[in-house]
Amino acid sequence: MAASSVFRPGLFNHKVAIVTGGGTGIGRAISAELLQLGCNVVISSRKAERLQAAAEEMREEIPASSPATITPLTCNIRNEDEVKTLVSSVLQRYGRIDFLVNNGGGQFSSPVENMSSKGWKAVVDTNLTGTFHCCQQVYSAWMKQHGGVIINIIADMWKGFPGMAHTGAARAAVDNLTKSLAVEWASAGVRVNAVAPGTIFSKTAMENYKELGPHIFKMSAPFSPAKRLGVPEEISSAVCFLLSPAASYVSGATLRVDAGQSLYHSMWEIPDHSAWPEAPEGQNLDALKDLLNPKSKL
């Protein structure tokens, strides 16, 4: 059963949304809540079988009284032509695009020294360039003349993203892109915002990181001030708020949905070392040494 929405039934009746990466994890939760609220949802990703299965399951969860429909359409957001086809297909089917949720993305764990150029490019092309393609095509094909709302899903990368620097760099760029588009497209009645989730647990996310998955999520909880992990349904409600009339004066903002994780300490462990040059000599350094290594009084 889908989690129930805190928003009123019918809030998005007859609206149309594209949710990239809408078949799994956070994207699936967003799609399911939009469907509950009456929205027609198009979910897209590269994997047709998984997309079709997700659509069939979510179709069963649509309330009987809801006018909502769900449509799965395959699309590799790295490919500009495929994004153009996605947008034109949605317009042919529904005649409008009110919402775009750029949730599609992906990354893998690796320190930078072991990261290949191909791996770097794949992550940046998906998370940054793919978001750019979707924003530009939806704007040009529909929102420029009719307005709309765009939400970009990014990440908790405010302290850097050691271990996944490729996605940290890409998501930081999308944060800036969000701000730029909010200004450029304001006169068209287009609001553009971002949501930055903290560590969010889902079965598919854990499986994506393979044998590292259980370890990553188990070790993450203590680094949240909430002392627990978030779930996708806590992101979907934030997205629905930003899509709703309640956020009619919000644009260019990034909402951190992370229980304060971005204000807390980092999961990246730095081993004890003596690799740095010593501080300049003087009474302050002498006092510091005395503090850290007090001389015995015996």
Burial degree of 12 (CB within 10 A; 0-12, 13-18, 19+): buried
Does some domain include residue 4?
no
Does some domain include residue 72?
yes
pLDDT confidence of residue 2: 56
**Domain holding 144: CATH number?**
3.40.50.720
Does some domain include residue 283?
no
Does some domain include residue 258?
yes
Does some domain include residue 288?
no
For residues 38 and 114, give the distance between their C-alpha atoms in angstroms, rounded to a whole number: 46
Tell me the C-alpha to C-alpha distance, in Å, between residue 147 and each of 91, 100, 196, 264, 279: 14, 11, 24, 38, 57
> What domain range is 235 assigned to?
16-266
DSSP per-residue string spanning 61-81: HS-TT----EEEEE--TT-HH
For residues 298 and 295, give the distance between their C-alpha atoms in angstroms, rounded to a whole number: 9
Does some domain include residue 52?
yes
Does some domain include residue 277?
no
Residue from 198, 238, 237 nearest 217 by CA: 198
Does some domain include residue 164?
yes
Q: DSSP 3-state assignment of 158?
A: strand
Which residues partner with 190 through β-bridges?
A: 148
Number of domains the chain contains = 1
pLDDT tens per residue across all 298 residues of the chain: 456 899 999 999 999 999 999 999 999 999 999 999 999 999 999 999 999 999 999 999 998 888 999 999 999 999 999 999 999 999 999 999 999 999 999 888 899 999 999 999 999 999 999 999 999 999 999 999 999 999 999 999 999 999 999 999 999 999 999 999 999 999 999 999 999 999 998 877 777 776 777 778 888 889 899 999 999 999 999 999 999 999 999 999 999 999 999 999 888 888 999 999 999 999 988 888 898 888 766 6
